Amino acid sequence: MNTLNLTITNGVALIEIDLPERSVNIFTPALVADLEYAINRVIADGDIRGAIISSAKSSFIVGADLKYLLQQYREDWQAFEAAHFFDKENRLFRRMETSGKPFVAALNGSALGGGLELALACHYRILNANPKAVVGLPEVTVGLLPAGGGTQRLPRLIGIEDALPLLLEGKPLKPAQALALGVVDELATPDTLISKATHWINNNPKPTQPWDVKGFIVPNNAGAMAEHAGRSFNANMVRLRKKTQDNYPAPLAILSAVYEGTLLPFDLALDIEAKYFGQLFSDPVSRNLIRTQFVNKGQADKLVNRPIGIDKFTTKKIGVIGAGMMGAGIAHVAAATGLHVVLIDNNQEATQRAKAFIQNKLEKETAKKYSIQDTDQSSAQNQAQQDMEATLARIHATSDYQSLSDCDLVIEAVFENRDVKAEVFAQIEKYIKPDAVLASNTSTLPIASLATTSKHPNRIIGLHFFSPVDRMPLVEVIKAPKTSKATLACALDFVQQLHKTPVVVNDSPGFFTSRIFCSYIDEGMAMLAEGIAPALIENAAIQTSFAIGPLAVTDEVSLDLQQRVVDQAIADKLAPERLRLHAQPTIRLMNEIGRLGRKTGAGFYDYPSNQPKRLASVITHHYPTASMQPDIKDVSDRLLYIQALESARCVEAGIISPSDADLGAILGLGFPTWTGGPLSFIDTIGIHAFVTRCQQLTKYGQRFEPSPWLLDRAKNQRSFYSNSF
C-alpha cells in the first residue's frame, strides 16, 4: 500500500494516510484502492476491534484530485454515466459504517470535501483544536456537490437548517465552530488524538450510525419532515435563484439533493445524491470552474510562467511612489506580508493620509481576527494588535527619494500620464541600486514607451494591481521586449510573496485586462447612446452574473480617469478599436457636466447620503430611452461576446495565453465565473456557433466582426483548449 500505513496495536488498527510526493492528502484512485484493502481487513479480522483513520501529514484529506476529475470529463458524457463516478467510494464508506465495528476519524488537520465525507462515515470524529485545522464541504465552489454522502450525512447529523449554509456556501469551519454544530464530536491536542480515539473504540464496541437506527428523524425538524424540508427548500430556492440567476446549477442541485434525500431511507438518498452529481459533472459549468479556478489558478500561483534557470529571489524592501488609493493599497499588502516599504509622495500630507488609511484598514482586520480566532479573546486581541503595530512600523512614509537606495523593487503608482510617469522614473533611477527592479502600475501605457528614457530598460516591468488591492487577488505582470528574464522572475517571485495570483502579458497598449474592461464599459455606453434603457443594460449584466454592471463599474473607476485614458490614446494616435473607445462622446459629455462617478456623488448613478445608489434620471435627459427596447438576451450577449471577442484578439496578437486570459478576466474583471472565462466561454458554446453569433451582432457595429484568424479557427474547429483542460 503506497498511500497509507496500517498498523495494529492491542486490537486497534491505525490507518495513517500519507500520499507519496504530495504535500497534502487528496482522494485518488490509488488511495481508494488502499483504503478498501485496509477497511476490508479491519472488518474481516476477528482480532481487530476497531480502527482509527488519521493522516501522517499536517492535514487530513483536503478533497478530491480535481485534475484527475477534469481529465475524466467528456463532452458527450451523459448524466446517468457521470452519476456512477463515486460508486466505489460510497460502497466502501457504507460498508465501513454498517460493519458493526467502530471507526474513528482522528483529524490531525484540515478535512475538506471527500476528507470530511470520509470522517462523516466514521462513527466518531475527533479534531485537532488548532484553529488552522478546518473542516468543510467546498464542492459548490467548483460547480459540484459532495458526492461521497455529504449531502445526506451532514443534514442527518446536524439538521437541515444548519447543514444547508455549509453545503451551499462551502465555507470551512474552525474547530470550535465544528464542535458547536456537532460536525465533530470532540477536540483534542495533536498528542492526544490517537489515545482519545482508542479510548472511544474501547468503550463503544458496536456503534451504529444514527440514520441506521429504526425510526430515525432528521434533527431539529419541526413537525412533519416533508413540511419542514419543503419550507427550507422554498425559502432557499428563492434566495439562491436571486443570487445565481440560474447560471450556477450546483446550489440548486445541492438543495434538491438535500430536500429529496432527507425524505428517503439512507441508501436511496445516496442514489439521489449521485443523480444530481451526474447532472453537474456532465454540465460544462463544473468543467469551466475546475479548469480556471483550480487548475489554471494553481499553475499561475506556482509561477508556471517563471523563466527557468533563474534563482529564486526574495524581496525584502520595496518602494511605492504615489500615496493615492492604489499606492496605499500596495504598501498595505506588502507590509502585511512582512516587507519593509518606503511610501513616497511629493505631498507629505498625502503620505500621512495614506498611512492613516492603512491603519484604519488594519484596525478593521484586527477587530475581525480576534473576534473569531480563539476562545481566549484577550490573548488573540493582544497578538493582533502587536501584528498591526509591526505592519505599520514597516511603512516609512516620506517625500525623500533617497530613501529608495536600498530597495529591491520600486513600484510607481502615479497618474496615468506618460509625462508624469517619465519624471517619476527619472527621479527613481537617481537613487535605486543597480540591480533593483523598477515597475509601473500603469493600466494602459505600454511599458516599452515608459522605458525609452531609462538607462536600464531591461530592469523595467509592469505590475498592474487592481483596486482594492487588499481584496483583489490578481496582478497583471507585463513584460516589455527589453525586460530581462531575471526581471520577470523577480517580479513573479514578488507577486507570490504577496500571496496574489499573477498572469503574464506581453507589452501592448491596454495590455489584456484594460482592453477587456474598456470593451465592457464601452459597450454599455454605446447601448446607452442607442437609447437602450440604463436599467435594462445593468440588469442584463447582473442576470448574466457579471460582478457589476458596465455603467456602475464606470462610476467606480471614475469618468475623469476614463477621459485621461482616451486623451492619452488619442495623443498616442491609437486607433479607437485598440482600446474599444467607441464611447468617447459619452465619456466627454459626462466630464463636461461634472458627473465623474461615485467619488463626486454623481455619475451614471446618483449617490444620495445614507441611501442606496440609484440610476440617475438626468442620464435619460441626455440619452432619451427609445420606444422599442431590445430583448434582454441581445443586451446580455453584447456584453459577453464583445469581451470574449476582444480576448480572442489578444490571444491572436500573442499578448496572452488562453489560460491566463480566462484567469485574468475572472479574477481581475469580474467576468462571470460560470463561463470559466472568455476563452472557455467560446469553447463551451462552440467556436463555430460563437463566430456565427458575432456576425449576427455586427448589426450593432463592425466591432463584432470576427477576424480572419478566428474565422479560420472556426472553420477548422480549433478550440482554445485542446482537451478537457
Q: Residue 520 phi/psi, 5° resolution?
A: -70, -55
Vertex 251 angle, CA 24 and 78, to 5°: 85
pLDDT-derived band at 158, boundaries 50, 70, 90: very high
Residues 6+ positions from 265 with CB-CB distance below 8 Å: none
Q: How many Cβ atoms sit within 10 Å of the Cβ of residue 613?
A: 15
Lowest mean pLDDT among 59-63, 169-173, 571-575: 571-575
Q: pLDDT tens, 471-494?
A: 999 999 999 999 999 999 999 999
Q: How many Cβ atoms sit within 10 Å of the Cβ of residue 587?
A: 22
- The whole-number pLDDT of residue 77 equals 76
Rounded percentage of the chain residues whose pLDDT exceeds 70: 95
- The whole-number pLDDT of residue 221 equals 64
pLDDT-derived band at 222, boundaries 50, 70, 90: very low
- The whole-number pLDDT of residue 228 equals 55
pLDDT exceeds cutoff 70 at 370: no
Element holding 579 (H helix, E strand): none
- Are 547 and 670 in contact by the 8 Å Cβ rule? The answer is yes
Using a CB cutoff of 8 Å and minimum separation of 24, what contacts does 264-272 make? 266/152, 266/156, 266/211, 266/212, 267/94, 269/152, 270/90, 270/94, 270/149, 270/152, 272/152
Q: How many Cβ atoms sit within 10 Å of the Cβ of residue 694?
A: 23
Nearest Cα to Cα of residue 211 among 264, 162, 277:
264
166 grid coordinates: 455549509
4-282 topology per CATH: 2-enoyl-CoA Hydratase; Chain A, domain 1 (3.90.226)
- Are 375 and 179 in contact by the 8 Å Cβ rule? The answer is no
**Which top CATH class is 513-654+657-716?**
mainly alpha
Q: Name the residue with higher pLDDT: 220 or 81.
A: 81
Summary mean pLDDT of the chain: 91
Q: In the chain, what are the domain boundaries?
A: 4-282, 317-369+378-508, 513-654+657-716
- The whole-number pLDDT of residue 310 equals 96
- The whole-number pLDDT of residue 190 equals 95
Q: How many Cβ atoms sit within 10 Å of the Cβ of residue 573?
A: 6
- Are 366 and 384 in contact by the 8 Å Cβ rule? The answer is yes
pLDDT exceeds cutoff 60 at 647: yes
pLDDT exceeds cutoff 90 at 401: yes
Mean local confidence (pLDDT), 590-602:
93
Q: Rounded to the nearest 10 degrees, what angle do helices 160-169 and 249-261 cross at?
A: 160
Q: pLDDT tens, 313-338?
A: 999 999 999 999 899 999 999 999 99
Q: pLDDT tens, 612-646?
A: 999 999 999 999 999 999 999 999 999 999 999 99
Q: Distance (Å, rounded) from C-alpha 639 to C-alpha 516?
A: 11
- The whole-number pLDDT of residue 455 equals 85
3-state secondary structure 467-479: CCCCCCCEEEEEE
Element holding 242 (H helix, E strand): helix 225-244
pLDDT exceeds cutoff 50 at 373: no
- The whole-number pLDDT of residue 72 equals 84
Q: Distance (Å, rounded) from C-alpha 668 to C-alpha 467?
A: 9
Grouping H, G, I as helix, E, B as strand and the rest as coil, residue 27 is strand
Q: pLDDT tens, 541-585?
A: 999 999 999 999 999 989 998 888 788 777 776 654 544 556 788
Is the domain defined by 317-369+378-508 classed in CATH 3.40.50.720? yes
638 grid coordinates: 453584447
pLDDT exceeds cutoff 80 at 168: yes
Burial class for 699, CB neighbours closer than 10 Å (0-12, 13-18, 19+)? exposed
- The whole-number pLDDT of residue 246 equals 87
pLDDT-derived band at 698, boundaries 50, 70, 90: very high
